[in-house]
Amino acid sequence: MRILTIDTSAVASAAVLDFDPQDLARTARVVANFATKDTRSHAEVLAPGVKSLFTDPVTEGPALDAIIVGTGPGPFTGLRSGITVARTLAFTWGVKLYGMMSLDALAQQVFDTPRYVDGRAVAPLAMADFVVATDARRQEVYWAKYSASAALIDGPHVGPAADILPVQVFGAGAGIYAQQLAAGGCVVEASFSQEQPTALELGRAAMRKIAAAGSLEGAGFLDSTPLYMRESDAKVPGPRKRAL
């Protein structure tokens, strides 16, 4: 099975992964991937970045079983760019499109990252329930709570970091608001305090869901509706006031 994943909830990123759902541990392979460091140039770099992943004639459509797009939560402009590209490619290429919460990508990365002592992996990075958080700007974070096995427990939410109860917190949101989180009894993992969701980690999380369910259809993916979590700043103008 081959999937294309796209995520623009923070950085612009895309990845192509190949795997056999019946033997994920031995067959999972990253065919190609790209990710920017910039969180504000999604529209300019995403389409060329996706094109660079394929050797197939892109106009004819590469051999894909599905496109999976990160639905956020994230800022309006970034999410819109990624979801629009994903929807366009799915329609043009005739490929099924699925959505997946972007915070799941960070949770999967936490789950896959061991804790090292003296150069040896000694334990998982998260030993119990944990939270992943990204920057929502306006002095707030997007966050969700997961079990130690990276299963979603609660969320997503948007709000002040101080709203998060005492727990391990991972991700760029944790790094930005480390003082507020520490004041509330949370533990910020310094080695994981700059991480953002990427399409590569979203793809790894998607592979696990597909392997566990045995099929794309049974994996419980979302549709591609964006999780903006806030009302749009743009408002339709009201009627003009009378001058007299």
Ranges of each domain in the chain? 2-102+197-213, 118-192
Q: Which tokens sit at 230?
A: 């806030």
What φ, ψ does residue 128 adopt, rounded to 5°?
-150, -170
Equal CATH topology for 2-102+197-213 and 118-192: yes
Q: Which residues contact 195 (CB under 8 A, 6 or more apart)?
A: 106, 109, 170, 171, 172
pLDDT of residue 159: 96
Which pLDDT band holds residue 38 (cuts at 50, 70, 90)? confident
- Asked if residue 211 has pLDDT above 70, the reply is yes
- Asked if residue 114 has pLDDT above 70, the reply is yes
Q: Stretch 65-73: mean pLDDT, rounded? A: 97
Which CATH code fits 2-102+197-213?
A: 3.30.420.40
Residues facing residue 170 across a β-bridge = 132
- Classify 118-192 by CATH class: alpha beta
